[in-house]
């Protein structure tokens, strides 16, 4: 019989994150946020700019308007933080209605050092995907319930790896590996 060794899931994400950090630090195409002391986006499409922000001691309240559109409000909460990852496509000057932006926003509890959520469990973080463009009928926020989130909170930073999809609208960002200081 073979030697059946199992790897504990809580060790997989830090190992993958460390590997990605090392590989991305060697890449000349690394994209960083506008304020690298507070935020850092590790991977980003080449045609845009990505940022990651953490809103410490905040929570998300997800709401639905009278037309069925999803939106959120942030509120003060001492036990949670809100993570916002944003991709904004570069736009040539003089072009009207060419702006394109996607967002991922979710909430994490300070007490959760390691987070591993799949599919419908992603809604434990109140995760939303936002798409904003001149794309009639295909903009706004959508609840994310398909994908995988692995996150670690360590040394006043949050490291996360997310692969996800939404069925309501097309999306450019389908996976995110990023970190940010709280």
| pLDDT digit string, tens, across residues 94-118 | 776 778 999 999 999 999 999 999 9
| pTM exceeds 0.85, yes or no | no
Q: Does residue 61 fall inside a structural domain?
A: yes
- Per-residue pLDDT band at 181 (split at 50, 70, 90): confident
Is 173 within the bounds of a domain? yes
Question: Please, which pLDDT band fits residue 121 given cuts at 50, 70 and 90?
Answer: very high
What count of residues does the chain have? 182
3 lies in some domain: no
DSSP string, 90-136: ---TT-SS--EEEEEEEEEETT-SEEEEEGGGGGGGT-EEEEEES-T
Contacts 24+ apart (CB under 8 A), 51-54: 51/85, 51/86, 52/83, 52/84, 52/85, 52/86, 52/178, 52/179, 52/180, 53/83, 53/84, 53/86, 53/180, 54/81, 54/82, 54/83, 54/84, 54/158, 54/180, 54/181, 54/182
* Domain assignment present for 1: no
> DSSP strand E in 10-99: where?
39-41, 48-55, 58-64, 70-76, 80-89
Report yes or no on 27 lying in a domain.
yes
Residue 42: band (very low, low, confident or very high) from pLDDT cuts 50, 70, 90: low
Residue 11, pLDDT above cutoff 50? no
Count of structural domains within the chain: 1
Domain assignment of residue 73, given as a range: 9-181
Residue 149, φ and ψ in degrees, nearest 5: -125, 125
Residue 86 belongs to a domain: yes
In a domain, 4, yes or no: no
């Amino acid at each position: 019989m073979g030697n059946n060794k199992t790897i504990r899931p809580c060790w997989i994400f830090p190992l993958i994150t460390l590997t990605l950090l090392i590989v991305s630090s060697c890449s000349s195409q690394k994209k960083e946020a506008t304020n690298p002391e507070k935020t850092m986006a590790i991977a980003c499409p080449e045609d845009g700019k990505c940022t990651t922000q953490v809103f410490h001691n905040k929570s998300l309240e997800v709401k639905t308007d009278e037309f069925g559109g999803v939106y959120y409000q942030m509120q003060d909460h001492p036990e949670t933080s809100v993570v916002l990852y944003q991709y904004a496509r570069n736009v040539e000057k003089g072009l009207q209605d060419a702006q394109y932006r996607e967002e991922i926003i979710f909430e994490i509890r300070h007490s959760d050092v390691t987070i591993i959520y799949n599919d419908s469990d992603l809604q434990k973080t109140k995760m939303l995907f936002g798409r904003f463009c001149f794309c009639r009928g295909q903009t706004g926020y959508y609840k994310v319930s398909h994908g995988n989130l692995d996150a670690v909170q360590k040394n006043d930073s949050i490291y996360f790896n997310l692969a996800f999809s939404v069925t309501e609208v097309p999306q450019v960002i389908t996976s995110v590996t990023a970190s940010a200081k709280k």
